[in-house]
């Protein structure tokens, strides 16, 4: 793992290209998350999340104002309940009518797209970051970001975990408590750890 990352760094140097850690993250390359620019982006997201979670339901409405501004895209009639958390916000794209129940976590180091009409139950977690299996590199903050896509009208049951790089098709159903490690075809219901198809509609 260390050799592979060193080789990539050398290749960039040979071609005279210097990428920031943010640019590496956005390009799907290994990057160091211990970085001033990324930390500032995370702080902006934390400020927005803090406001969203701290407002009374009547004041917050469907979405706190700072959170609305920091998200990548927000369709019509989107609602995010309180105790929400995201890593950057700018990589989260929500279609019309998307609903996130209480306690959802989206670690959007890469693009997370949730299609129109999809609903996430309480405490659903979406992860985009994968860390190095080399413990020295892991301690140094090396990670790689992989996008997650959820299609239209999907239903993600409470406490489900969706791992990096997964694509969930339109109308799919993810059972509560499932760990989704691979793509889920449209119209398919999966459940378990790891999630497996249990029926098709």
Q: What is the mean pLDDT of residues 21-45?
A: 98
Catalytic residues: 131
Does the pLDDT of residue 200 top 80, yes or no? no
**pLDDT at residue 2 in the model:** 37
pLDDT, mean of residues 161-178: 98
Tally of domains within the chain? 1
Residues 6+ apart with CB under 8 A from 94: 71, 73, 74, 75, 78, 114
* Paired residues of 149 in beta bridges: 113, 167
In whole numbers, what is the pLDDT of the chain averaged over residues? Answer: 92
Specify the pLDDT at position 16. Answer: 64
Flag whether pLDDT at 3 surpasses 90.
no
CATH number for the domain harbouring residue 99: 2.160.10.10
Domain that holds residue 63: 2-200
124 touches 160 (CB < 8 A):
yes
* Whether residue 5 has pLDDT greater than 70: no
For the residues 101-125, what does the mean pLDDT come to?
Answer: 98
| Report field, pTM of the whole predicted structure over 0.75 | yes
């Amino acid at each position: 793992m260390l050799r592979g990352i060193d080789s990539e760094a050398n290749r960039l140097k040979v071609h005279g290209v210097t990428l920031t850690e943010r640019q590496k993250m956005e390009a799907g390359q290994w990057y160091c998350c211990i970085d001033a620019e990324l930390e500032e982006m995370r702080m902006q997201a934390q400020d927005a999340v803090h406001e969203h979670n701290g407002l009374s339901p009547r004041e917050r409405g469907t979405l706190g104002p700072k959170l609305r501004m920091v998200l990548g895209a927000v369709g019509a009639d989107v609602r995010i309940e309180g105790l929400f958390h995201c890593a950057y916000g700018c990589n989260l794209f929500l279609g019309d009518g998307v609903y996130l129940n209480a306690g959802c976590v989206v670690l959007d180091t890469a693009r997370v797209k949730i299609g129109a009409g999809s609903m996430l139950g309480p405490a659903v977690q979406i992860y985009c970051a994968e860390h190095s299996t080399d413990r020295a590199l892991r301690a140094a903050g090396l990670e790689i970001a992989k996008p997650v896509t959820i299609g239209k009208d999907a239903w993600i049951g409470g406490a489900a975990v969706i791992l990096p790089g997964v694509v969930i098709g339109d109308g799919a159903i993810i059972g509560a408590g499932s760990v989704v490690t691979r793509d889920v075809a449209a119209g398919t219901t999966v459940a378990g750890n790891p999630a497996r198809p249990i029926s098709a509609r």
